[in-house]
Structure 1
């Protein structure tokens, strides 16, 4: 036989625990992939990014975009380190392409890629990420190879 008075506080504690888990789990599962920080010798620079990680979304990229805020960009995640190459077909604004390893270290930077240019822009080394930001912005913030990018996906190579 159980004691009814002892049960009420235990049920209340369980209900509170369930309520907290119901609220906290979705928040933990939804880390903010829309935020990214570039660390350079001149400071830390925050960007709002859209993450693209499927062949279809990577192919679309920033094509047809007419403007991009100074703190905005697109993060391409290839889910493994490999040589990659970009072009500017159907891209209307100049972009800086920052090629980043799985560890978050900036490997190479292509400054001010020309709109509508179909010339290949290679990473030069294997990378997992490419960050596209407004043209010239990497120079403004003093970003150099060896600097770092902080994002939830850094350090998380896909294991299939």
Structure 2
């Protein structure tokens, strides 16, 4: 009877360990993102599109690099005074907050692993994360218009 109890306890501990391990692995699993095309500064860009809660929560987490003209467009429905943080995000980014008319309301830097939220100054429909310095390099500024084609 004692060996049965030890075997049962060992099995239970093994299941718990396996469960904990799989939960720890879950954040690193790949999530599929939609794509959207945006036009700004006279050019079109194909970007990853985070339009579900799960996609917005994952964002660019766990990425170690991003190509020069790659980025992620986040959609907020309903529109809100959105904010972003950089938990588990390793790439320095800039975020442009965009209102319902496609006008950039703010461009702000986001530092890797920063847990402090960085927010829009107004109610916005979109946020666009690009590599740090991308907006300045492409002469894109607050007040510029972006056309979104999801």
Note whether the superposition's TM-score is higher than 0.5: yes
Contact 2:36 2:73 in 1 (8 A): no
Question: Secondary structure at 1:151's aligned position in 2?
Answer: strand
Shift of 1:132: 0.5
Shift of 1:79: 2.5
Give RMSD over aligned pairs. 1.6
What stretches of structure 1 of length at least 5 have no aligned partner?
A: 1-31, 154-160
Residue correspondence of structure 1 range 23-42 to structure 2 within 5 A: 33-39=35-41
Shift of 1:129: 0.1
- TM-score normalised over the length of structure 1: 0.68
Contact 2:93 2:129 in 1 (8 A): yes
Give the equivalent residue in structure 2 for 1:145: 142
Distance 2:104 2:55 in 1: 22
Shift of 1:65: 1.0
Contact 1:97 1:133 in 2 (8 A): yes
| Residues 1:89 and 2:87 aligned together | yes
Give the equivalent residue in structure 2 for 1:69: 67
Distance 2:37 2:125 in 1: 17
Q: How many residues of Structure 1 are paired with residues of Structure 2 in the alignment?
A: 117
Question: Secondary structure at 1:146's aligned position in 2?
Answer: coil
Equivalent residue in structure 2 for 1:118, among 115, 120, 123: 115
- TM-score normalised over the length of structure 2: 0.73
Equivalent residue in structure 1 for 2:48, among 39, 42, 50: 50
Larger radius of gyration: 1
Question: 1:49-83, CA deviations, whole angstroms, 9 ceiling, x for partnerless residues?
Answer: 11111111100000011111111110001123210
Contact 1:46 1:71 in 2 (8 A): no
